Structure 1
Amino acid sequence: MYNGVRLLLHIHIVASKISRREFSNDMSKFKELLQSAKEVVVLSGAGISAESGIPTYRDQGDLWRTLPSSILNNPGTFREDPGLVWEFYHHRREMALKAQPNAGHIAIAKYAQRHAADKKVTVVTQNIDGLHSRAGAKNVIELHGTLFKTRCTKCNEVLVNTDSPICPALQGKGSETSTQLYSDIPEKDLPHCKKCGALLRPYIVWYGELVESETIKRLEPVISKCNMLLVVGTSSIVYPAAAFPTVMSAGGSTVAEFNIEPAPASTMFDFYFVGPSATTLPVALSD
């Protein structure tokens, strides 16, 4: 069996040894280095989707209704009240379906398309909203899963599902302003597997769960071969993604951050460009 822990341990050890440095905002120099890069990785977080109208947990005080995300993104809560968790994810699915990729998502996708013959561009995203793919990006690794797949709790079959709502019982449910802290939806009316009949769950990495082994397998060559990393809209504090920039920097990759404010790891990077990524990325990725 593949041991994803090996990669996570390596990330932690290397990240702890990186020293601080002075970063630059020289766009011309950045574009010169980007032009010569052959393996480009974009690590994206909630900030890039916030510009499409999807609020970050920080914006919402980490709460849905009065419940913190640590309770809702939790396999234990799903076992106790699967309807409540499905209402939460129905709310998030509907929000994502109404959102549109912004200029930042589109700039990344178009850059990859223009350079398909001379570069490999990989998007590694912590987001679950599917906006990178909808913008046209083809090589996307979704670290934490996606709102638009389900996994069977019994046979583990994973399927794409973009239905709105995902089942009739969720129609009109999921209001974040409701004061109801439990679900009145019977389990039999929630999404079920067409193959074996068992309850379906969102295809999301929840608290206490490890990133999928197949995802880790895809990440290893991306990390080892990368020579230009763009960190976009993420505070770089959630592992394993938190350590990718410092690990890649230690391996000789150029690291450029695009964010509205510096993150704890910003001083370890080569470039830092302040501002909304929908504004900065189209400039940075223009030829």
Structure 2
Amino acid sequence: MKKKIVVLTGAGISAESGLRTFRDADGLWEGHDVMEVASPGGFRNNPELVLDFYNQRRRQLLKVRPNEAHLSLAELEEFYEVAIITQNVDDLHERAGSSRVVHLHGELLKARSTQDNNLILDWKTDIHLGDRCEKGSQLRPHIVWFGEEVPLMDQAIRITKNADILIIIGTSMQVYPAAGLVHYISNKTPIYFVDPRPNIAAGDFKNLTIISQNAVSGVPVLARELMERI
């Protein structure tokens, strides 16, 4: 039976594919207050602004490709049972070949009904006011906005509890509830933290190995090491 690797990924891994992260250094999202473009209230107040914001992100996503970190994680599936739990809303893990990806914060290449949260459509073009689902209600980005529940959190917790190895890549582990996942692993589970500016120390968790490199450099090296152990 293959050992289980659970990988938690954040914006850092996608940024290395040239995908701009939403949040700027000053906390604004592409010049906007986060509540203007990433909250139910913001959508009610100015739906055109919100739709345009995500339309721009979607167009950018379609122009970039998975990087070596994404590809290395996909290669691990030959040797391990790999589950990726990502805070990213892009599809770069899937395009790289990873078969089990849980998107905690939604998916940019999907749209959903404003009337029925379970009515979700594949969507690679712009969403406009007047684009409606089969039930007649306006479509919105399939993104978990601030103030909304994270519907896949329970699934992510179940997956994390069974991890034999935990890898954290490109995330500050400051955004909850995703950051809390690390507390569901066994004390004996080894953790690998890949980040050029790690904000945790080796003493923060048992069995923690810090790889102070960016994802494109650090993940392929770690993946080769893990594959050679088999």
**Under a length normalisation based on structure 2, what TM-score does the superposition of the two structures give?**
0.89
Over residues 7-34 of structure 1, what are the superposed CA-to-partner deviations in whole Å (9 max), with x where a residue is unaligned?
Answer: xxxxxxxxxxxxxxxxxxxxxxxxxxxx
After superposition, the C-alpha distances for 1:147-171 in whole angstroms (9 at most, x for unaligned) are 01111011331111123x345xxxx
Match of 1:259 in 2: 195
Contact preservation (8 Å) 1:151, 1:203: yes
Q: Which runs of 4+ in 1 moved over 3 A?
A: 57-62, 264-267
| Cα distance change, pair 282–66 in 1 and its aligned pair in 2 (3 A) | closer
Q: 2:94 maps to what in 1?
A: 133
- Is the 2:69–2:215 contact (alpha carbons within 8 Å) kept by the matching residues of 1? yes
**Distance verdict in 2 for CA 1:265–1:197, change over 3 Å:** farther
Is 1:86 the counterpart of 2:23 in the alignment? Answer: no
Q: Percent identity, aligned pairs only?
A: 37
- 1:276 is aligned to 214
Do the aligned partners of residues 50 and 249 (structure 1) sit closer, same or farther apart at CA in structure 2, a change above 3 Å counting? farther
Which position in structure 2 is the counterpart of 1:175?
none
> Which residue in the other structure is 2:121 paired with?
159
Shift of the 58–150 alpha-carbon distance from structure 1 to 2, 3 Å rule, reads closer
Query: Residue type matched to 2:139 in 1?
Result: L
Give the aligned partner of residue 222 of structure 1. Answer: 159
Equivalents in 2 of 1:100, 1:120: separation in Å?
Answer: 24
Task: Please give the residue correspondences for 1:1-80 in structure 2 after superposition, counting only pairs within 5 Å.
Answer: 38-59=3-24, 61-64=26-29, 66-80=31-45
Q: CA deviation at 1:120?
A: 1.5
Q: Is the 8 A contact 2:23 2:30 kept in 1?
A: no
Partner Cα distance (2:201, 2:56) in 1: 32
Work out which of the residue numbers 167, 173, 176 in structure 2 matches 1:236.
173
Q: Return closer, same or farther for 1:110/1:54 CA change in 2, 3 Å cut-off.
A: same
Paired residue type of 2:170: G
2:85 corresponding residue in structure 1: 124
Aligned length: 222
The separation in 1 between residues aligned to 2:116 and 2:22, in whole angstroms, is 32
Q: Does 1:101 align with 2:66?
A: yes
- TM-score normalised to structure 1 length: 0.72
Bigger Rg, which one: 1
**What residue ranges of structure 1 are gaps of 5+ in the alignment?**
1-35, 168-186
The structure showing larger relative contact order (alpha-carbon pairs under 8 Å, at least 6 residues apart) is 1
CA distance in 1, matches of 2:38, 2:160: 27
Cα root mean square deviation, aligned? 2.0
